[in-house]
A and B are shown apart, each in its own frame.
Chain A
Amino acid sequence: MAVQTISLKEINPILSAYPKDRRYALAIMQDIQRRYNYIPREALETLADYIGIPLADLYSMATFYKALSLKPKGKHIIKVCDGTACHIRGSMNLVNSICRTLGIDQDGATEDGEFSLELVNCVGACALAPVMVIDEAYYGGVTQESLPKIFEAVRKGEAP
């Protein structure tokens, strides 16, 4: 995918919003995640220098929390529900269809950095199974045929 060039200029304002203290590490990492959709290696290294703790400690935290990602994520994150109801209604087929339609693997992002896929457990809309969520918008009873249309709409910013 088109690798976003990380300018350190963008990281510095995120860092300087917080005091140089270990307890702010997680909050800063969340901000970095929000800005880039993942935590670039350069950012993690800069953060380690800024707070003055080993890079390994931050790496441990970043790999522990699911909300933080060390791999690039797409602009739009597709969350496919794999709770019991969705699983029975074929969520794994849905995952395969999404991967095929977008040409990605389960933890990858599309070439253009638009989409990435995540498997989640129950989004609380079992009646609509199988469900996927893109940018907070719920799509129920998704079929392979309906996917290209949905993705096109999201790409154009026309999603509900």
Chain B
Amino acid sequence: MTVTIDGIPCACEAGEYLLDIAARNGVTIPSLCHHGGLPGQGCCRVCIVEVEQGGWKNIVAACIYPVERECAVFTKSERVIRQRGMVLSLLRAAAPESAEVARLCEVYDAPEYERFVKKPKERCILCGLCAKACQSLGTGAIVTVNRGVEKAVSTPYDEPSAVCAGCKSCAEVCPTGAVEVIEDGINRTIWGKSFPLKKCGGCGALTGTLAELERAADKAGAEIPALCNRCKQKSMSDVLASTYGW
């Protein structure tokens, strides 16, 4: 099957998502809430494109639009540019402190609307990707709470979570850098809780929080590794070298 994206014929399977097909064929579609490992969010609407099929043109979110039959896709049509500009302007009002949102606004020429009141000091666009990451890891420490204008990401009762291991997966998937992580070389502080960090027994590099390493080791039924990946590889290659007398 072939879909045409901005005039470029792209081979694809039925059911594949437009965003993936475009990326494979070198067409850039911007997105925020999309993460390869946690698909199906589809809430930031930055990745909207225009799909022409059977004489109709529709605006769809590329990250959650599965291709069913041959169609023509436009990522830079006038309608897409206008609507994406509006989406980005709204996101900028929601998260004016986010560098990534500001960058996208710059690149895609999002118009400045004075009537959109900017939330002070906010970097979060409330996409919920952090909560999804936490949940998919089986931790479930953070969730989106309340709804409407009061919606926020938080731990239960706004207190330090009893189950958080400080793995900072939430911070890593966050597209706008909204999850605050403070590391001072000894502790990592995240979601109002401090976790002691573990150092590699060889080079002294930080390998993660003790709590997350314990949990991972517990799940795998193994000991907490004493070395970081680099040192582990080095020691194994040293063993190999001495075994074969290299």
Contacts and interface: CB of A to CB of B under 8 A. Distances in A.
Interface of A: 41, 44, 53-60, 63-64
Contacts of B161: 56
A157 to B, nearest CB: 35
Contacts of B156: 44, 55-56, 58-59
Contacts of B135: 54, 57
Interface residues of B, number: 18
A63 B142 CA distance: 13
Interface stretch (B13-21, B43-51, B144-152): B144-152
A59 B139 contact: no
Shortest 9 CB-CB distances between A and B: which pairs?
A: A54-B140, A60-B143, A59-B156, A63-B145, A56-B143, A63-B146, A55-B156, A56-B140, A56-B156
Interface of B: 131, 134-135, 139-147, 155-157, 161-163
A60 B157 contact: no
B155 A56 contact: yes
Nearest to B146: A63
Interface of B is mostly: loop
B141 A59 contact: no
A57 B132 CA distance: 11
Nearest to A45: B156
A134 B92 CA distance: 44
Contacts of A53: 140
Contacts of B134: 56
A41 B134 CA distance: 22
Nearest to B148: A64
B140 A59 contact: no
A85 to B, nearest CB: 24
B145 A54 contact: no
Given A59-B145, A60-B145, A63-B146, A54 B157 contact: no
B140 A57 contact: yes
Nearest to A44: B156
A41 B145 CA distance: 15
22 contacts: A44-B156, A54-B135, A54-B141, A55-B140, A55-B162, A55-B163, A56-B134, A56-B140, A56-B142, A56-B143, A56-B155, A57-B135, A57-B140, A57-B143, A58-B156, A59-B143, A59-B157, A60-B131, A60-B144, A63-B145, A64-B145, A64-B146
A29 to B, nearest CB: 14
Nearest to A55: B156
A56 B146 contact: no
B163 A64 contact: no
